[in-house]
Amino acid sequence: MSAPADFQNEIYLNGLGDALPGLPTDLTRLEALAEGRLSAQAFGYVAGAAGSEATARANREAFDRWRIVPRMLRDVAERDLSVEVLGTPMPAPVLLAPIGVQSILHPDGELATARAAAGTGLPVILSTASSYAMEEVAAAGGDGPRWYQLYWPKDRDLAVSLLDRARAAGYTALVVTLDTFTLAWRPRDLDQAYLPFLRGVGVANYFSDPVFQKAVGGPVTDENRSAALLHWVANFGNPSLTWADLAFLREHWDGPIALKGIQHPDDARRAVDAGMDGVIVSNHGGRQVDGAVASLDALPAVADAVGNRIAVLFDSGVRTGADAAKALALGARAVLVGRPYAYGLALGGEAGVRHVLRCLQAELELTMALAGLTRPAELDLDCLVRG
Ligand SMILES: Cc1cc2nc3c(=O)[nH]c(=O)nc-3n(C[C@H](O)[C@H](O)[C@H](O)COP(=O)(O)O)c2cc1C
Ligand SMILES: CCCCC(=O)C(=O)O
């Protein structure tokens, strides 16, 4: 695997090489291409957001209100984008956001994503709602770094079992998603009456779980399938959880824990007080609270509240290297990218995901170098002005 900036030379000299010929290097163009490749239902599920989709749009618009101010003559010949977050070294401050039900995008789903991510060294965060069981995805990803994202079910024994399996399968950090104990009002899915889970997609981690199987009277077969799906519906999320419940997770997971979906600085402070190791500033790509603050607009106050005490990560709306640079300058240690790699998967399977990751990494490195920066830690508010 060549260094990110070499990818640009490789493209000029050899074309897109092992990435898909014809897949654009401007990742904002992938969505329209994916629409032509996917069923209306699958595309609506992935591209869609909550309500009027105002927050999804706001996520993108927020990046336009910040501009990078490049600095000159600073010897940027040697660049090193590597960082360590929650104990995981990575070649660039970019992770693959947890995205469930990936087999609606490509039959190889999370397996292809894990292979592509492992090839770049960027960590993959596997969703509880993945279409393949976490052990299969771990095997596909080999030595690649991996974290596990928990949707915290009502049944505590099931939660513990999921955590035990994740630890055994080599997932080193835990991401607990707080903003989606139930799905929001999502008109595209409502209008098409589409929910992947009710078609049996995204339930692999549950159906393969011994605690889940015990609750539904044994392994899931055609006979108890409907009962198993109803058990999933009843158990998937728990709206009664409070900050006090985090002690339970601390007890059952000895590695680092990050809370995903934090948007208010007081919640970030509570995460520190609860002994968490990180927060992910995110509004779930605009998929949960329509009208919520743009994720980038929520970032500075959270970063300020947390200081250097725990890691601050960011997602929702990152599409370019410049977007990633702006989020880092506003206080994030690393960014998660969501829909772009999902579209890469839809358009080209493993090669499509690899293409997206390499483009994003190369564009971030070039943007930073041309702005006079050689390391992610150099990105701060001095690098930006309000646009
Ligand atoms: C199709 C789809 C499925 C998702 N599934 C999950 C999930 O299972 N768990 C989770 O924590 N977040 C999930 N997310 C949210 C992402 O992790 C991330 O927060 C969001 O996609 C970031 O915004 P972006 O798509 O604008 O980059 C999903 C997002 C999409 C688009
Ligand atoms: C049940 C929710 C899992 C997928 C998800 O998080 C999303 O669609 O945003």
Does ipTM come in above 0.95?
yes
Residue 2 has a pLDDT of: 59
Give 186's contacts (C-beta < 8 A, 6+ positions apart).
48, 49, 50, 51, 287
Whole-number Å distance, alpha carbon 193 to ligand 2 midpoint, is: 15
Q: Residue 339, Cβ neighbours under 10 Å: how many? A: 22
Q: Which domains does the chain have, with CATH numbers?
A: 4-386 (3.20.20.70)
Whose CA is closest to atom 1 on ligand 2?
183
* pTM of this prediction exceeds 0.95: yes
284 part of the active site: yes
DSSP class of residue 381? G
> pLDDT digit string (tens) for 301-310?
999 999 999 9
3-class DSSP state for residue 179? coil
Which protein residues touch ligand 1 with a CB less than 6 Å away?
A: 45-46, 59, 97-100, 127, 129, 149, 177, 260, 282, 284-285, 315-318, 337-339, 342
Tallying the residues shown for the chain, one arrives at: 387
Give 66's contacts (C-beta < 8 A, 6+ positions apart).
296, 326, 329, 330, 384, 385, 386, 387
Residue 21 has a pLDDT of: 67
Helix or strand holding residue 131 (H, E): none
Q: How deeply is 325 buried, as exposed, middle or buried, from its count of CB atoms within 10 A (0-12, 13-18, 19+)?
A: buried
Tokens standing for residue 86? 């929650």
Measured CA to CA in angstroms, residue 385 lies from 67, 247, 285, 327 at distances of: 5, 41, 24, 13
Residues of the chain with pLDDT under 50: none
User: Which ligand does the CA of 110 lie closest to?
Assistant: 1
